[in-house]
A and B are shown apart, each in its own frame.
Chain A
């Protein structure tokens, strides 16, 4: 800054009462050179902040528009996707944000009364609320990441660490191969059988059904019905055994974590035949909206930290607390947006 500091003409018409605690306000250093008085400056700062908040509403508005269009056209995707969100955590987070909003509003009151310790307590409580919100959001996000419930094309990848993904292909892999081999062998034999039959003179239908396979022809000699039945039974038994193993695993899991096991009764979306088309859209819009909101919370944390610093420096007084007020307005808008996000995503 190479601006030469200027002398100010102070027209403090709006400041009639002198504050004995803040004698330096006779020459307020907070007053910009182009303002007549602190009240004018405060009003302008607040108006500017509200204009910024209007832009925030419209910034989120684009995503709300996307949400409305997708949900309006595909309610099934949203009904399906919201099963994977925890109402409990969403509700707790709503309460955390509402409480932190309250402490922020109380902080503004404290600033207006010139109560410095009160202001710091309120700001610290608000900060704790912000961290609480982010902590819960972290738990929720990491759960989604492990389950592979991701936005966009990433949704269609195998989850890294899922509780509800059933590794059926791996377990059943070799058995599947055997059963395919069996199928091939059987169909080959069936084909040979058909050819052999074609060579034979046509028999009456009633006789054909009563005849033993062994009597049909050369290839049928070593193909007794008992063997065939055993084969069928073996395949059938294998699948049954897999199911039994899964049941056992589920039971063991249930014994350890009954609540999670209740959720595990759900299928992983990728393995669920009832998954609506383009089901990833729910998670796309969920991550975009809560992600943008989360970025705003992080910015809010920085703002609150800065306000705490300024308060410690003793920068605020009943005549000058514009940053507290504007930071508060910002924080309330963060709360405001979450008030809508909660029912729109969690309560479907």
Chain B
């Protein structure tokens, strides 16, 4: 990786270029712009895919799945390159991934449970809402 030498006297000791005299890992500017371009393209793909009607191919949940996959890819790119996770200590990634796993666990258990008892829940407008609608003269 090569990049513009803004502080040549700091960096000339380091032939690899993206190293520098200070602490931490410096990512070259062009590379960050490149990453950002990829992210913008992925955003475009997400928007485009949301207008595709996957029902024609009998894949009703495909829009959501695709959007989430692309979002996860984007998130990973942001973490790895913008947030320097790729060059950071593994423990940092471990902490972050642990939090995501715990979140998945939380959502997983909670959604399994609510799905189970959902048949017992009244699926109409709830009582307070019906009262409000009656006040407005808008009951269905």
Chain A interface (Cβ < 8 Å from any Cβ of B): 14, 17, 19-21, 38-39, 42-43, 46-47, 50-51, 53-55, 57-58, 61, 64-65, 68-69, 72-73, 87, 91, 94-95, 98-99, 101-102, 104-106, 108-110, 112-115, 118, 153, 156-158, 169, 270-271, 273, 275, 277-278, 280, 317-319, 321, 325, 328-329, 332-333, 335-336, 339-340, 342-344, 347-348
Contact = CB atoms under 8 A, between A and B. Distances in A.
Contacts of B24: 42, 112, 321, 325
Interface in B49-98: 50, 63-64, 67-68, 70-71, 74-75, 78-79, 81-84, 88-89, 91-92, 95-96, 98
**Helix, strand, loop or mixed for chain A's interface?**
helix
A38 B23 contact: yes
Nearest to A274: B140
Contacts of B133: 156, 270
Contact of A53 (B81, B96, B137): B96
A153 to B, nearest CB: 6
A345 B71 CA distance: 13
A295 B41 CA distance: 27
Contacts of B25: 112
A336 B79 contact: yes
Nearest to A325: B24
B88 A115 contact: no
10 contacts: A50-B92, A65-B103, A65-B111, A72-B114, A72-B115, A87-B47, A102-B35, A114-B22, A156-B129, A277-B125
Interface of B: 6-7, 9-11, 13, 20-29, 32-33, 35-36, 39-40, 43, 46-47, 50, 63-64, 67-68, 70-71, 74-75, 78-79, 81-84, 88-89, 91-92, 95-96, 98-100, 102-103, 106-107, 110-111, 114-115, 118, 123-126, 128-129, 132-133, 136-138, 140
Given A19-B21, A114-B7, A91 B43 contact: yes
A172 B7 CA distance: 75
A72 B23 CA distance: 46
Contact of B88 (A46, A101, A156, A332): A46
A342 to B, nearest CB: 8
